[in-house]
Chains A and B, each alone.
Chain A
Amino acid sequence: MLTAWLSGLTGLLHTQELLVLFLGMILGLFFGAIPGLGGTTGLALLLPLTYGMHPITALAMAGGVMGAIPMGGSISAILLNTPGSAPNAATCLDGYPLAQQGKAGLAIGAAASANSIGGLIGTLTLLAVLPISTRLVLAFGPPEFFLLSVLALVMVACSTRGKMLRGLVAAGFGMMLAMVGYDQMNGGTRYTFGVEYLWDGVRLVPALVGLFAVAEMINLWVEGGSVARTDGNVRITRMTDGLMETFRHWPVVLRGSVIGTVVGAIPGVGGTVAAFLSYSATVQFSKDPESFGHGNIAGVIAPEAAINAKDSSSLIPTLAFGIPGGAEMAVFLGILVLHGMQPGPLILIKNQTEIYGLIWALTASCVLASMGGLLLVRPLSRLTLLPSSILVPPVLCIALVGSWAVDRSIENVILTAAFGMLGYGMIRFGYPRLPVIISLVLGAGIERTWEQSIAMGDGDALILLQRPICLLLLLCLSSAVLFSPTRALFRLLAMRRAGRPPRLIA
């Protein structure tokens, strides 16, 4: 094992590999920070560029990009409320309110250190777990995948502060959208209305860009003023405090990293779920849950730690079984295949140097990208002082062109704009947008694993009650649904006992 680690490290310690790693890190920060590009698009765009490179050089670039994207995404999530990639959407919930309160430096400092620590924990876990990963993934069958995805969806919907029902409505609407397109299990198309573009379903990147970036830009445009709601309220004097906040909230970092590591190792669930599970867990464990969504620093630390930890552990199923943990990993799988590496148990024997080199590159990128992100905080923080009328046109144009660039389809631009308008409507009418995206991400997987589960149970859904992990997940699901009403009930009873009239806002 030690020999393999060292061979990976020595394989990386060459001028060319280090330069490519650094370039990948810079590009990762760049792709992560620009709403609409993100990790999947960034990696997909760079995939052809690695052709002709030595495999370890290509993997160094991929590691550099993957390690830096979360940090880049957190910068735009905190400053602009427009996550560069889907997982960073969780960072918006408290990061953006902090930026509006003039604490952008604090939030970005905390995000940077949480990113590094989460990434380091993730890669350490990857190094430890990779050789024994077979048992971990094989413990999950379709019923477990189905329940885990439903649990993630319900938790996201219910974690919307004080709007559980509207969160569930948004999740249901997202599931309806996820049913659009080709029916992979049974053949044929559904809800496409004869539009060929919809055969592949509602595409995630345009939907994501529209619902977050474009909707937020429309909202800024309508409301006017600057991204920061009060003049001169963006200060970055507390960056060191932000770094220290992560250490002060070490249980949050640890929990987020563990959640990210576990969720990342399960294919199909992805970083968005990891980030929101970590966020939800932090809210539910907090003594002050009402402060979340209004600028609680733990709400930034929790998802950031999970996102980077997830990035490392999602390599486990990708490398060991050839099952990509998410869209980004699917693109990464393409890089492996392009360079003649066949994912599966043999990859650790045949391509030991390359794989451990990749892990080192990922580790280095996590730390370097956080430092790079911190160096860029000052100029980027100033973005929030720009008048929205100046900020909106460029961001709107880059978001639309970014969504076009995914597969060079002009229909993507139309879909992005449509989702932008939908997102703006949801902002105006007080519906959370995040459950829509989570449903879109998980919808196809939920349907597939449901049908597989039913087939496994010979047409009987009782199979979900016959497996120990399923029972555990069902327990978590019930807790997630009942948590908010139960808390409201206890609060009401407490107020009645105290002789105070009940408050409506929980």
Chain B
Amino acid sequence: MSGTSAPHGVPSGPGGYALPLVLLALAIGFIVMAQRFGAASRAMPQLVGGTMVIFCLLDALSRTNTELGRRLSRWVNPAVSAVSVAPPRHRQRVALAGLTALVVAMILVGVLPAVAAFGLLALRYRAGRSWLMGATLGGAVALAIWLLFGLLLALPLFPGLLFGGVW
């Protein structure tokens, strides 16, 4: 949401319209795909998709620096004038990459090793703690998960595809 603000608080430039336009494209794709279904099956998707198209167009319109845009924003989206400051991009990338890595690790090597490794690395590199502290917390989280899910709830934790887990 960073960028220069239009008079009614919506970021100006193409970036300000990106999200409603992406959602608009999704809604149109949703309607197009619905044409493959039978008449009864596509009725509700068409209704939902059509409504979504209208909402997305209104959302995009409310971001324009025109009288209509300002009015729309005032009536139905007044709080968007409060533009937040985006955090540094590299932090966002690290967080999203960290989550992806955790999921991939859980799938490949199993829940417990993935959790322990994630705890260790997150504490070491994100929180700047010592390796010992990281290992302690990572091990504690893995132990807690094993106690809760593995022992208390008697759920055999996913061992990972590399260690016999089945998709």
Q: A162-B80, A400-B102, A505-B81 are in contact. Are A222 and B91 (CB under 8 A)?
A: yes
Select A179's contact among B48, B55, B103, beta carbons within 8 Å: B48
Q: How far is the CA of A223 from the CA of B87 in the complex (A)?
A: 7
Q: How far is the CA of A436 from the CA of B62 in the complex (A)?
A: 21
Check A413 against B103 for contact (C-beta < 8 Å).
yes
B46-97 residues at the A interface, CB under 8 angstroms: 48-49, 51-52, 55-56, 58-59, 62, 72-82, 84, 86-87, 91-92, 95-96
Select B76's contact among A164, A413, A431, beta carbons within 8 Å: A164
Check A186 against B41 for contact (C-beta < 8 Å).
yes
Check B98 against A221 for contact (C-beta < 8 Å).
yes
Select A389's contact among B20, B56, B100, B126, beta carbons within 8 Å: B126
Check A166 against B149 for contact (C-beta < 8 Å).
no
Q: How far is the CA of A345 from the CA of B74 in the complex (A)?
A: 53
Select A218's contact among B23, B59, B84, B99, beta carbons within 8 Å: B99
Q: How far is the CA of A182 from the CA of B141 in the complex (A)?
A: 37
B22-51 residues at the A interface, CB under 8 angstroms: 23, 26-27, 30, 33-34, 37-38, 40-41, 43-45, 48-49, 51
Check B96 against A185 for contact (C-beta < 8 Å).
no
Q: How far is the CA of A417 from the CA of B40 in the complex (A)?
A: 33
CB distance from A388 to the nearest CB of B (A): 9
Check A405 against B74 for contact (C-beta < 8 Å).
no
Check A397 against B141 for contact (C-beta < 8 Å).
yes
Chain B residue with the shortest CB-CB distance to A393: B122
CB distance from B53 to the nearest CB of A (A): 9
Check B48 against A389 for contact (C-beta < 8 Å).
no
Q: How far is the CA of A20 from the CA of B126 in the complex (A)?
A: 43
Q: How far is the CA of A100 from the CA of B98 in the complex (A)?
A: 26
| Residues on the B chain within 8 Å of A327, using CB | none
Check B106 against A169 for contact (C-beta < 8 Å).
no
| Residues on the A chain within 8 Å of B162, using CB | none
| Residues on the A chain within 8 Å of B82, using CB | 505
Select B137's contact among A390, A428, A484, A506, beta carbons within 8 Å: A390
Q: How far is the CA of A183 from the CA of B34 in the complex (A)?
A: 12
| Residues on the A chain within 8 Å of B132, using CB | none
| Residues on the B chain within 8 Å of A131, using CB | none
CB distance from A131 to the nearest CB of B (A): 38
Q: How far is the CA of A447 from the CA of B43 in the complex (A)?
A: 9
| Residues on the B chain within 8 Å of A431, using CB | 19
Q: How far is the CA of A188 from the CA of B39 in the complex (A)?
A: 12
Interface residues on A, range: 35 or more
Q: How far is the CA of A421 from the CA of B82 in the complex (A)?
A: 23
Chain A residue with the shortest CB-CB distance to B20: A169
Q: How far is the CA of A475 from the CA of B96 in the complex (A)?
A: 44
Residue B135 lies at the interface, judged by CB distance under 8 Å to chain A: no
Q: How far is the CA of A457 from the CA of B46 in the complex (A)?
A: 20
Q: How far is the CA of A397 from the CA of B41 in the complex (A)?
A: 38
Q: How far is the CA of A55 from the CA of B5 in the complex (A)?
A: 63
| Residues on the B chain within 8 Å of A145, using CB | none
| Residues on the B chain within 8 Å of A390, using CB | 123, 127, 129, 137
| Residues on the A chain within 8 Å of B43, using CB | 451
Residue A420 lies at the interface, judged by CB distance under 8 Å to chain B: yes
| Residues on the B chain within 8 Å of A489, using CB | 75
Q: A393-B119, A394-B141, A417-B103 are in contact. Are A505 and B78 (CB under 8 A)?
A: yes
Check B115 against A397 for contact (C-beta < 8 Å).
yes
Select B153's contact among A405, A414, A421, A502, beta carbons within 8 Å: A405
Check A172 against B52 for contact (C-beta < 8 Å).
yes
Q: A168-B55, A186-B41, A429-B19 are in contact. Are A417 and B100 (CB under 8 A)?
A: yes
| Residues on the A chain within 8 Å of B38, using CB | 186, 188
Residue A494 lies at the interface, judged by CB distance under 8 Å to chain B: no
| Residues on the B chain within 8 Å of A186, using CB | 38, 40-41
Select B49's contact among A176, A401, A405, A430, beta carbons within 8 Å: A176
Chain A residue with the shortest CB-CB distance to B88: A222
Check A190 against B92 for contact (C-beta < 8 Å).
no
Check B55 against A165 for contact (C-beta < 8 Å).
yes
Check B145 against A401 for contact (C-beta < 8 Å).
yes
Check B86 against A185 for contact (C-beta < 8 Å).
no
Check A394 against B119 for contact (C-beta < 8 Å).
yes
CB distance from A451 to the nearest CB of B (A): 7
CB distance from A453 to the nearest CB of B (A): 12
Q: A165-B55, A176-B30 are in contact. Are A506 and B23 (CB under 8 A)?
A: no
Q: How far is the CA of A401 from the CA of B111 in the complex (A)?
A: 8
Interface string of A428-443 (1 = CB under 8 A from B): 1111000000000000
Check B59 against A451 for contact (C-beta < 8 Å).
no
Q: How far is the CA of A488 from the CA of B73 in the complex (A)?
A: 11
* Residues of B in contact with A (beta carbons under 8 Å apart): 1, 8-9, 19-20, 23, 26-27, 30, 33-34, 37-38, 40-41, 43-45, 48-49, 51-52, 55-56, 58-59, 62, 72-82, 84, 86-87, 91-92, 95-96, 98-100, 102-103, 106-107, 111, 115, 118-119, 122-123, 126-129, 137-138, 141, 144-145, 148-149, 153, 155, 157-158, 165, 167
Query: What 11 new A-B contacts, CB under 8 Å, besides A169-B56, A431-B19?
Result: A163-B77, A165-B62, A169-B59, A176-B49, A179-B30, A222-B92, A393-B118, A398-B145, A400-B103, A404-B111, A492-B74
- List 26 A–B pairs whose Cβ atoms lie within 8 Å, in order of A's numbering: A163-B79, A166-B59, A169-B20, A169-B52, A169-B59, A172-B52, A176-B26, A176-B30, A176-B45, A218-B99, A221-B98, A222-B95, A223-B87, A397-B102, A397-B119, A398-B141, A410-B165, A429-B1, A451-B40, A451-B43, A484-B76, A488-B78, A489-B75, A504-B73, A504-B74, A505-B81
Closest 5 CB pairs of A and B: A162-B79, A389-B127, A172-B52, A165-B76, A506-B78
* Residues of A in contact with B (beta carbons under 8 Å apart): 45, 161-166, 168-169, 172-173, 175-176, 179, 183, 185-186, 188, 190-191, 214, 218, 221-224, 387, 389-390, 392-394, 396-398, 400-401, 404-405, 408, 410, 413-414, 417, 420-421, 424, 428-431, 446-447, 450-451, 484-485, 488-489, 492, 502, 504-506
